[in-house]
A and B are shown apart, each in its own frame.
Chain A
Amino acid sequence: MGLFQKFFQNKERKQKAEKYKIGMMKTRQGSLSSLKDILTKSKAINEDLFSKLEEIFIMADIGIDTVIEFIEELKDSVKTLQITDPLQLENLIVDKMFELYLKDEIINTNIRYNQNGLTIILFVGVNGTGKTTTIGKMAFKIKQEGKSVMLAAGDTFRAGAINQLKVFGERVGVPVIAKEAGSDPSSVIYDAIQIAKKDKVDVLLVDTAGRLQNKVNLMNELNKISRIIKRETNNQPYETYLVIDATTGQNGLSQAKIFSEVTDVSGIVLTKLDGTAKGGIVLAIRNKLGIPISFVGLGEKLEDLEYFDIENYIYGLFADFFQG
């Protein structure tokens, strides 16, 4: 991959848009050749150029609504700033992307640990996005930070899910609380919370079965799980991560919307970003629903989970478009 290096070393760093200028990225990462190519070849800023830009964004799955909005803003800025040279668009586009994502907020994607007691992190999402694998990676990451971790096998439905989590537990070296397949997930999770509290574990990572957001019964089940955790944590805020596959298209919006209705989704884990998919739907989710991206999954190894970095991400969006 290479694009998403461990850049986000200083996690407390404030992500201010103006800090990240495109020139910086260019020297560090090679070049923003594709975007630059288009801009260089264009003689003027015109509709043709805008439609080419539109193509880049749509191909990244950002979604037509957000793209149209974005392009309109870009056009407005071009007018007010009286930009005529296509090359000057470079900075403008990147700035606008930052604005779109940051929305004048300071986004802190660090895990909010409970200072006096157990921290619970719930993982939700549709089928096959990589919840269980993400939990394995997250356990590894948190354990490396020196905290004790426990896993709760809340996916009692999918064949093999419990054992998959157990394998990760073994690899990372953390205990896994599980019941037999088919048992009530709420009861597994309740038990796990009790054991974690008793054993004075720092962080409990809770797996849940994948569910499509239009299945009302399954969403109710998730709501119950969320209520139990709330009750057991005395209504302290806790992290709920919605796991979204980077190949997901516009359905991601519907996922984010409905999952946030039944749980308090606090962040997104964007998985499988090591493929060719751009996962741009998370920008639309941020734009429309305000949910930030917390982590990205970049491979199959345990260490392939990174804090999300908007700068690297935007670079990735442009990097390999229009090759050939």
Chain B
Amino acid sequence: MAFENLTSRFQMALRRITGKARLTESDIDQMMREVRLSLLEADVNYKVVKEFTDEVKQQAYGEKILKGLNPGQQVVKIVSDELTKLMGETASELKLNPSGTTVILMVGLQGAGKTTTAGKLANYIRKNHDKNPILIAADIYRPAAIEQLQTVGAQLKIPVFEMGKTNPIQIVREGLDYAKTQGHNVVIIDTAGRLHIDDQMMDEIREIEVISKPNEVLLTVDAMTGQDAVNVAKSFHEALHLTGCVLTKLDGDTRGGAALSIRKITDVPIKFSGTGEKLTEIEVFHPERMASRILGMGDIMSLVEKATAEIDEAEAMSMMEKMMSGQFDYNDLLKQMKMMKRMGKFSGLLKMIPGMSTMANVDQIDDSQLAYIEAIINSMTKAERKNPELIERSSSRRNRISEGCGRSTTEVSRLISTLDKQRKMMRQLQNMNPQNIQNMAQGTYQPRESRAMRRAKKKSGGY
């Protein structure tokens, strides 16, 4: 919905500012306005957005624009890098006590998913850390909360300690003793959901923290939380010694900006994410993935980042060798297109194919046209695909192909000339020195591609 608007607005902004060597203040301001909107749309807290954009602005000003990126993309890159840095660059693990008992305290608002997460976490720790967990049911307030935990425990075959609706402090105390006598080395305490402004309930959780001396205090937060995430995280962080966060319901279509707000306000790492209703659906949280989800400019980022990651390196390399040798045929073109498809449907990536950018109006080629090209190639015989000259010479072959795929002969001819151009260009490339290729890369190629080319050259011994 609104998100699509933003993306297109963003692209507009990208288009407006191109062709400069360094980022100017107005470039940055323009782009940052769009970044700001995007972050707000993702539910990142207003104040956090403000601070963040101000910081990035400072950083971006005067920055040299990397080869192959336009100024807009450069800003996005800086934003994305900073966002990743802010989210924490690596995943943070649980602090498990190697010899003694590990106590994990689950806290959060009502309905965030504490009980489900407690079960998922117990299962995760048992499986990945070879421990013997037990759950303590300390939510005596919500009707059937104890039973919910018992059901979860039964499904996972993990014991649940409960004492009905007695004092939660007492439940925790006796639960910890029980765990010790039964040889459980991980204890996960499920507590009642509570509002951060409910003093009485916050006192209770503080007391539970004091007597249970937890190794981990995990704040469970709904990924759909809006601006209020900051208040919640701050209050819980002030009251308790939070060691981490669990972001639940991340399998929904929310952008999850709350993650950024919480991280920025509390500096507590997000350790896990809940990714489904099944009790196995919990994952170690990957901050770098979250950064691009929040920014919501995945497609633009792709042009900048994704190209190398998704293409199979070896495949790309052999493709390059083929191109360099001037033996490039329709089979290769098809393969190349499939590679592109895997990277995502971005017509912008067409520019990566040498010679393609000279085809009429690359920007207007939509993804359906990619399908047409594929259809044309599929209508060729195997011999024709291998030997492009066959089609070039014979109009009856062209007519047959055109009928076979349902595209006009003009389109078929256009494809033929494209391939021809590519082959010619490739032959020229062979005679160039690396310096020239690099210069060319700045104009026609995406930067990552040119890097891949350089690597390809290295492999084949250079020339």
Contacts and interface: CB of A to CB of B under 8 A. Distances in A.
B195 A248 contact: no
Given A126-B249, A157-B277, A275-B228, A58 B46 contact: yes
Nearest to A162: B144
Contacts of A163: 143-144, 147
Nearest to B223: A251
Contacts of A61: 43, 226-228
Interface residues of A, number: 49
B309 to A, nearest CB: 25
Interface string A154-172: 0001111111101110000
Contacts of A158: 148
B112 interface: yes
Contacts of A63: 2, 41
Interface string B90-131: 000000000000000000011111010000000000000000
A253 B1 contact: yes
A157 B148 CA distance: 11
A275 B109 contact: yes
A168 B277 CA distance: 24
Interface in B270-313: 277
A60 B231 CA distance: 12
A159 B228 contact: no
A23 interface: no
Interface stretch (B69-77, B254-262, B321-329, B406-414): B254-262
B187 interface: no
Overall SS of chain A's interface: loop
A127 B197 CA distance: 23
B188 interface: no
A250 B41 CA distance: 7
A226 to B, nearest CB: 21
B252 to A, nearest CB: 4
B437 interface: no
B253 A214 contact: yes
Interface stretch (A39-47, A192-200, A276-284, A310-318): A276-284
A283 B148 CA distance: 34
Contact of B1 (A55, A59, A257, A281): A257
Contacts of B112: 128
Nearest to A131: B111
7 contacts: A60-B227, A159-B115, A163-B147, A212-B252, A254-B1, A272-B195, A275-B228
Interface of B: 1-2, 5, 37, 40-43, 45-46, 109-113, 115, 141-145, 147-152, 155, 195-197, 222, 224-229, 231-232, 249, 251-255, 257-258, 277
Given A59-B45, A127-B111, A254-B253, 4 more contacts: A126-B252, A130-B111, A167-B143, A276-B196
